[in-house]
Structure 1
Amino acid sequence: MKAAVLGAPVAHSLSPALHRAAYAGLGLDDWTYEAVECDDAALAAYVTSRGPEWAGLSLTMPLKRTVLPLLDHTDQLAVVAGGANTVVFRPDGRYGYNTDVQGIVDALTEVGATAAGSVTIIGAGATACSALAALAEFGAAAADVVVRDPSRAADLLAAADRLNVHVRLLSLTALTDAAPGLLISTVPAGAADGYAERIRVTGRAPSAVLDVVYAPWPTPLAEAAAAAGAVVASGFAMLLHQAAAQVELMTGKPAPLEAMRAAGEAELARRTAVH
């Protein structure tokens, strides 16, 4: 059976290391998993041309919303979050799922973090929508969302409405206010460095932080938050747990989480050594 991760760019993806380790751990010697460069324009042709030897696809940016019209069946979590990062091919059609939500929940749970108290999300993209859905799983009813451009937050506000989570849009300068109980940064490497500097200067940090960036690690945000006493969940943990959920959906077998964790950490260490 075949599977792949699609995105643009995708060469940096850690998913092949994680999924291949899972197949090895499960004894699925005839399964393969590749990284495929694919943008919005090429997605429909790629998805619709997969044959019966295909088990599924992992989707990264910018494809999580683009894929929705191509699905025959969409899981409720993908519907409310407004994006699917997983496609499973079955005899009766293409099924779409969102395992990013599970990845966020598991990454936070792993370090003992909760959504108690105030919650702030940095960013308004597909991952931020998944973060909102994860907060709803924790029972949170509201979140502050920090955005550069409020006019680009329409998809996030629509997801918040479906999730019945109240969102207050804030500018980056608003992060000078009192630190939230939980901070989830969903922006690319470097984009939250200004807030990291504020934590270093003020010594005020959230009680818990999840930074979805996994390389280079620790990020300035994770480093500053940990130094100020925050509990920190890594982007790698989120990636690991969402990949484990994908493996279970595609193979129908429990994911060998620790084998996947070891493989991912080894690959990150290899990349660090190379650079």
Structure 2
Amino acid sequence: MSDVRRLAVLGSPISHSKSPRLHRAAYEYLGLPWQYTAVEMDGARLGDFVRGLDSEWRGLSLTMPLKQDVLPLLDHVDGVAVLAGAANTVLLDGDARRGFNTDVGGIVRTLQEAGLRDVSHGVLIGGGATAASALVAMSELGARRVQVLVRRTGAATSLAELGARLGISVEPGSVTELATLRGADLVVSTVPGGAELGAEASEELISTAALLDVAYDPWPTPLAASWLAGGGVVVHGLGMLLHQALLQVRIFVNGDPEVPLRDEAAVLGVMRGSLR
């Protein structure tokens, strides 16, 4: 597959996205003359955009607020995306639009890379599409109890339902509970970068739990800054972006997130280097 193909990351806002540099680095290393751009897109225009793509297009990466909006536009959806209720990747495979979720794998892989391979008690901040992927990832790492802290009452309802399907206990609560929480071994924040939570994490929580903040622009987020100031362990959000992008490249090149790339370690290396 050496012909020119088009790809793009879609979302709003999208100007800050580092996905183009990640993907371009991978395709350049693999010798593929593919074009990858960023397109400002909202849910109202997504359907017309996707239906208007021609045979030059190979696929799309999707960020907020499109990961759920895209589902009705797909012909096939992989099991992880069905479970999470969100797809962040679309492969244009002939006449078929195939949806995937690489956010779950990206979270798992970046936490494992940071040495966090087993989770018992997790805390999840946020209630959107990425939060659902984070909950699935926590389950894959062994979590049996996850406290979901949201800023808006009722925002955690769908996550509680997902927890029931995963066979884990999900306890909805308010972000204000950060000030009194203790005993967790992992906190994952999925709120947008720069957002003020209106609560500070307890010293006990910072001392026992690693923080993965999936936001990476601006960095550090207010939550990550407070974690670092308290001497806690912080996993940078760029790690998730990097590893989910590698799985997307597998999909776009090989058609399958489970099939490794040729010389994959080197591909990951050039992608990581593109973020410096």
Q: Which moved more, 1:246-255 or 1:99-108?
A: 246-255
Whose helix fraction is larger, Structure 1's or Structure 2's?
A: 1
Query: Quick one: distance in 1 between partners of 2:246 and 2:37?
Result: 16
Q: Which runs of 5+ in 1 are unaligned?
A: 266-275
Look up the match of 1:11.
Answer: 15
Q: Could you tell me which residue of structure 2 aligns to residue 261 of structure 1?
A: 272
Q: Which amino acid aligns with 1:129?
A: A
- How far apart are the structure 1 equivalents of 2:90 and 2:185? 34
Q: Give the 5 Å matches for 1:76-225.
A: 76-91=79-94, 93-179=96-182, 180-191=184-195, 194-195=198-199, 197-199=200-202, 202=203, 204-205=205-206, 206-225=208-227
Is the Cα–Cα contact under 8 Å of residues 160 and 172 in structure 2 kept in the other structure? no
Which residues of structure 2 form unaligned runs of 5+? Answer: 255-260
Out of 247, 250, 256, the position equivalent to 1:248 is 250
TM-score by length of structure 2 reads 0.88
Shift in Å, 1:152:
2.6
3-state SS in 1 of match to 2:154: helix
- Paired residue secondary structure (1:146): strand
Report the 3-state secondary structure (helix = DSSP H, G, I; strand = E; otherwise coil) of the residue aligned with 2:275. Answer: helix
2:97 partner letter: R
Return the offset for 1:226. 3.4
Counterpart of 1:207, as a letter, is A
Number of aligned residues: 261
1:20-60 Cα deviation digits (max 9, x unpaired): 111111111x2000111111011111112212211100001
Asked whether the 8 Å contact 1:21–1:260 carries over to 2, the reply is yes
Q: 1:153 to 1:5 in 2, by over 3 A?
A: same
Match of 1:46 among 42, 45, 49: 49
Q: Give the drift of 1:203.
A: 6.3
Q: Which amino acid aligns with 1:126?
A: A
Distance 1:3 1:198 in 2: 40
Over residues 179-230 of structure 1, what are the superposed CA-to-partner deviations in whole Å (9 max), with x where a residue is unaligned? 32110011112335544x445xx46514311001112223332233234343
Tell me, in whole angstroms, the C-alpha distance in 1 between the residues paired with 2:177 and 2:197.
15
Which whole-Å CA distance do the structure 2 matches of 1:227 and 1:37 have between them? 35
- TM-score w.r.t. the length of structure 1 is 0.89
Shift of 1:166: 2.0
Deviation for aligned residue 1:91: 2.1
8 A contact 2:181–2:201 mirrored in 1: no
Contact 1:2 1:32 in 2 (8 A): yes
**Shift in Å at residue 101 of structure 1?**
0.5
- Is 1:119–1:142's contact at 8 Å kept on the other side of the alignment? yes
Distance between the aligned counterparts of 2:222 and 2:44, measured in 1? 35
CA distance in 2: counterparts of 1:116 and 1:9, whole angstroms: 32
User: What is residue 238 of structure 2 aligned with on the other side?
Assistant: 236
Matching residue's letter, 2:93: R
Measured in 1, the distance between the counterparts of 2:241 and 2:251 equals 15
